[in-house]
Amino acid sequence: MPTMPLEEAVKSITKFYPKFLGDAEEAKEKSKKTIVLSIDASAAIYLYTMNRGFYKELNKMLRNEDPDALQPWLAYLKLFITVLEKLPSCSKTVWRGVRDRTGTSNLAVSQRFIWWSVNSCTSDIKAAECFKGDSGALLCINAIYAKDITTYSAMKDEEEIIPIPGTCLRIESLSLENTGGWV
């Protein structure tokens, strides 16, 4: 299935966030065609990983669960998820550091929940610990169907791995580390 050009996929978003068009153009310039992905496909990942606010706005819309607010993002999401599906899946332990522990006190063993947003994880526990800071949460995830996007990322040193949005997670254990972070 062919993917649409990145500029086309972000067109409806740029009505609200004009700077994202320039970010999309930069992502295309810095991306390379590979055996697996076209330049537009590679750039869709690169754009998400640029530290310019795009990923924050995307995830804010996904977590908001407001279909009307999400509408402008649908073309990009379709491109992004189609691109992720082209990449080989990996089954491995990954880590996610989160600075805000809001909601972690309500977690219970065997609880299931769905990650509707795009949640960047890493195979490097030290990188995840940097993201969580001194009082955040450190999540250990035994991923079954995750996508390694390191090759296509703007932040190659982060060893970034993404579970597909809509991934169902089940909590196997909770423990308090001596650093104050939850695993």
The reported pLDDT for the residue numbered 183 is 47
Q: Exposed, middle or buried by CB within 10 Å (0-12, 13-18, 19+), for 18?
A: exposed
The reported pLDDT for the residue numbered 27 is 96
β 121-122/160-163 pair status: antiparallel
Residue range(s) occupied by CATH 3.90.176.10 in the chain? 88-183
Provide the b/e sequence for 71-91 (b: ≥16 CB within 10 Å).
ebbebbbebbeebbeebeeee
Mind listing the pLDDT tens digit of every residue in the chain (183 residues)? 456 899 999 999 998 899 999 999 999 999 988 889 999 999 999 999 998 899 999 999 998 889 999 999 999 999 999 999 999 999 999 999 888 766 566 777 888 888 899 999 999 998 888 888 787 888 889 999 999 999 999 998 889 999 999 999 888 887 755 445 554
pTM score, whole prediction:
0.88
CB atoms within 10 A of CB 6: 29
The reported pLDDT for the residue numbered 179 is 46
CATH architecture of the domain formed by 88-183: Alpha-Beta Complex (3.90)
Distance separating alpha carbons of residues 85 and 87, to the nearest angstrom? 5
The reported pLDDT for the residue numbered 1 is 47
Integer-rounded Cα Rg, in Å, for the chain is 17
